[in-house]
């Protein structure tokens, strides 16, 4: 209700309003009382006169000036809405939905998708040949196990967890044997844990994978390198456990043992030569945690990517091409369905926008302003005609009171009786279709406006319905093309 009242207020507020015609203004302008009295005393106009008196003509001239001013203002106003009416009429009359444009967009989407699929398939075939060649060169009869994001996350998570666990456990176990306590224990544990976990992971990734390489040279180098690393890592963790065992028996800290504590060495053995030291339960835990985590990291590095060196990288590009091809194939139908759904939705929105904005907010108000201006002028012209008639009647009544001669001929009708009506505006001056001839072609009365609104609404609704029907028919055709395209790029 508030919205309706607001629209009504805006409509009324934007209308052109003709000024009310006041008889007294005209009578005062021509000094009616004095002029009529003077003319009457002088028997003017003469009995045989066929034209208006000077006073009457002055009234007509003033009234005409008043009319011209109002017409000029009305024309200025109408010029402001003329282009709006023409523009909105053109929009409402034009075709608003083009199936060819939509078909071009759909065909463009399919062409783009096929172009991508074609390039990806060519890339896939190239990488597939590389995989086959790699298999032949390296005596492999299986498919590569390429590295995925999940593999990376799991592999890095494993070594991260191993490092943190070993750092905390070994740090607590070594803390009593350190001169500075837990802080120094964590520092030593971090260094050893980095070797056990991170370096072992790298050795596992490179050395373990090359143990079954087709080239004997790489196998030999890998075996030598792996053997040396295993000896080193085993010795490192055994020696660390030995230092812990010596500390438990003698109380000597790691710093003293490294600097050389002959008394502790004589009692428990030399930690640098760990086989001379009897390990305690706690020191055994330290040794087995270090060695166990090192082996776990070696295995993690071995399982990270394909177990055969380089095979995973060769297959990765091919797998990525295949994955992208399948993704496009799977999503192509959904993408096309989405395009059609969005177009139908946009069609409804466009239809409603045309009716709501172009018709209701542009054409209807402006064509109504034009109709109201024409009706307003009719009322104005009627008021002006009545005002002139009243003024002339007053003039003749006063004039007749003072004249001694008979009334002028033009005051009488064909039968010689006094005219009831002294003046009427001519059709050329009272008919707005003639007065505003430049705007007459746009004019519609209220009944015509209502009928035209219905015509436009039906046109727009019918056009949108027809367009949606064409979209649905085209959808059946496109679905076949999509299915054919998907089958063409099956891998």
pLDDT reading at 258 higher than 60: no
DSSP per-residue letters across 177-202: GSTTTHHHHHHHHHHHHIIIIIIHHH
**What average pLDDT does the segment 182-208 reach?**
73
Is the pLDDT score of 435 beyond 50? Answer: yes
Over range 232-245, report the average pLDDT: 77
Residue 400, pLDDT > 70, answer yes
Q: What does the pLDDT read at residue 226?
A: 81
Cβ-Cβ contacts under 8 Å for 83 (sequence gap 6 or more): none
Predicted pLDDT at 265: 45
* Stretch among 174-178, 243-247, 385-389 having the lowest mean pLDDT: 174-178
DSSP labels, 217-232: HHHHHHHHHHHHHHHH
Residue 8 pLDDT class (50, 70, 90 cuts):
very low
Q: pLDDT band for position 465 (50/70/90)?
A: very high
Whole-Å CA distances, 98 to 399, 463, 466:
75, 10, 10
Tell me if residue 418 falls in helix, strand or coil: strand
Instruction: Give me the phi and psi of 413, to 5 degrees please.
Output: -90, -170
Quick: pLDDT tens for 39-53: 999 999 999 998 999
Dihedral angle computed from the Cα positions of residues 381, 387, 393 and 394, in that order, rounded to the nearest 10 degrees: -170
What's the N-to-C CA distance of the chain in angstroms?
A: 63
The pLDDT, as a whole number, for residue 251 is 53
* Least reliable range by pLDDT among 76-90, 140-154, 336-350, 371-385: 140-154
- Give the C-alpha separation, 378 to 445, whole Å: 13
Q: Provide the residue ranges of all domains of the chain, joining segments of one domain with +.
A: 13-97+327-488, 148-304
- Asked whether 279 and 241 are in contact (CB, 8 A), the reply is yes
- The pair of structure tokens assigned to 212 is 């079954």
Burial class (CB in 10 A: 0-12, 13-18, 19+), 333: middle
Range with lowest mean pLDDT among 74-78, 186-190, 457-461: 186-190
Residue 357 has pLDDT above 50, yes or no: yes
Residue 484 has pLDDT above 70, yes or no: yes
This prediction has a pTM of 0.64
Both tokens of 215, joined, read 């080239």
- Asked if residue 125 lies in contact with residue 322, where contact means CB atoms within 8 angstroms, the answer is no
- Using left for φ > 0, alpha for ψ between -120 and 50, and beta otherwise, residue 139 falls in left
Instruction: Tell me the per-residue pLDDT of 116-128, one tens digit each, with 9 for 90 and over.
Output: 999 999 998 998 8
Query: How many Cα atoms within 13 Å fall on the side-chain side of residue 70?
Result: 26
Distance between CA 18 and CA 16 in Å, rounded? 7
Around 298, how many Cα atoms within 13 Å sit in the side-chain half-sphere?
A: 18
What pLDDT was estimated at residue 178? 54
The per-residue pLDDT for 351 is 94
Enter the DSSP assignment of 269: -
Say how far apart CA 218 and CA 330 lie, in whole Å: 43
Query: How many whole angstroms separate alpha carbon 134 and alpha carbon 310?
Result: 9
Of the two residues 253 and 62, the one the predictor is more confident about is 62
pLDDT tens-digit map of 87-142: 999 999 999 899 999 999 999 999 999 999 999 999 989 988 988 888 888 888 88
State the chain's maximal CA–CA distance in angstroms: 167
Q: Give the residue among 198, 204, 282 at the shortest CA–CA distance from 240.
A: 282
- Alpha-carbon distance 470 to 459, whole Å? 16
Beta bridge partner(s), residue 418: 412
Rounded Cα distance, 148 and 159, in Å: 17
Using alpha carbons, select from 13, 87, 86 the residue that is nearest to residue 369. 13
Q: What is the pLDDT of residue 135?
A: 81
**pLDDT tens sequence across 159-191:** 788 777 776 776 666 655 554 555 655 666 677
What pLDDT is attached to residue 171? 65
For residues 362 and 274, give the distance between their C-alpha atoms in angstroms, rounded to a whole number: 97
Q: Band of the pLDDT at 300, cuts 50, 70, 90? A: confident
């Amino acid at each position: 209700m508030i919205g309706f009242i607001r629209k009504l207020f805006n409509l009324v507020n934007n209308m052109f309003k003709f000024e009310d015609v006041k008889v007294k203004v005209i009578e005062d302008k021509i000094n009616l009382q004095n002029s009529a009295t003077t003319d009457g005393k002088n028997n003017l106009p003469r009995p045989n006169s066929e034209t208006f008196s000077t006073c009457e003509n002055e009234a007509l001239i003033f009234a005409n000036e008043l009319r011209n001013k109002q017409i000029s203002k009305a024309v200025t106003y109408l010029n402001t809405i003329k282009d709006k009416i023409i523009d909105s009429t053109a929009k409402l009359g034009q075709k608003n939905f083009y199936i060819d444009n939509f078909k071009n967009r759909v065909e463009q989407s399919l062409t783009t998708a096929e172009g991508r699929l074609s390039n990806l398939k060519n890339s896939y075939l190239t990488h597939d040949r590389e995989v086959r060649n790699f298999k032949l060169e390296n005596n492999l009869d299986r498919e590569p196990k390429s590295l995925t994001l999940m593999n990376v996350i799991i592999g890095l998570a494993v070594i991260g967890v191993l490092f943190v666990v070993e750092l905390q456990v070994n740090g607590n176990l070594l803390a009593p044997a350190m001169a500075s306590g837990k802080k120094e224990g964590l520092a030593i544990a971090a260094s050893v844990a980095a070797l056990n976990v991170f370096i072992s992971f790298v050795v596992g990734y490179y050395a373990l994978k090359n143990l079954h390489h087709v080239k004997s040279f790489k196998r030999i180098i890998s075996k030598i390198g792996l053997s040396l690393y295993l000896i080193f890592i085993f010795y490192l963790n055994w020696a660390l456990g030995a230092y812990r065992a010596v500390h438990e028996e003698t109380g000597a800290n790691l710093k003293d043992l490294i600097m050389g504590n002959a008394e502790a060495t004589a009692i428990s053995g030399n930690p640098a030569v760990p086989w001379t030291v009897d390990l305690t339960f706690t020191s055994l835990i330290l040794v087995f945690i270090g060695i166990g985590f090192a082996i776990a990291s070696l295995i993690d590095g071995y399982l990270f990517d394909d177990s055969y060196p380089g095979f995973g990288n060769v297959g990765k590009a091919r797998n990525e091409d295949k994955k992208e091809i399948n993704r496009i194939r799977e999503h192509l139908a959904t993408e096309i369905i989405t395009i059609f759904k969005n177009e139908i939705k946009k069609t409804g929105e466009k239809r409603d926008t045309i009716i709501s904005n172009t018709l209701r907010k542009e054409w209807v108000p402006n064509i109504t302003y034009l109709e109201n201006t024409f009706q307003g002028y009719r009322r104005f012209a009627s008021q002006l005609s009545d005002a002139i008639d009243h003024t002339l009647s007053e003039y003749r009544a006063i004039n007749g009171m003072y004249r001694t001669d008979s009334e002028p001929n033009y005051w009488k009708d064909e039968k010689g009786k006094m005219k009831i009506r002294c003046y009427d505006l001519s059709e050329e001056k009272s008919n707005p279709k003639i007065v505003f001839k430049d705007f007459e072609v746009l004019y519609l009365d209220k009944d015509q406006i209502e009928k035209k609104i219905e015509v436009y609404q039906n046109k727009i609704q019918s056009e949108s319905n027809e367009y949606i029907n064409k979209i649905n028919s085209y959808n059946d055709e496109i679905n076949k093309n999509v299915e054919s395209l998907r089958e063409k790029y099956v891998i």
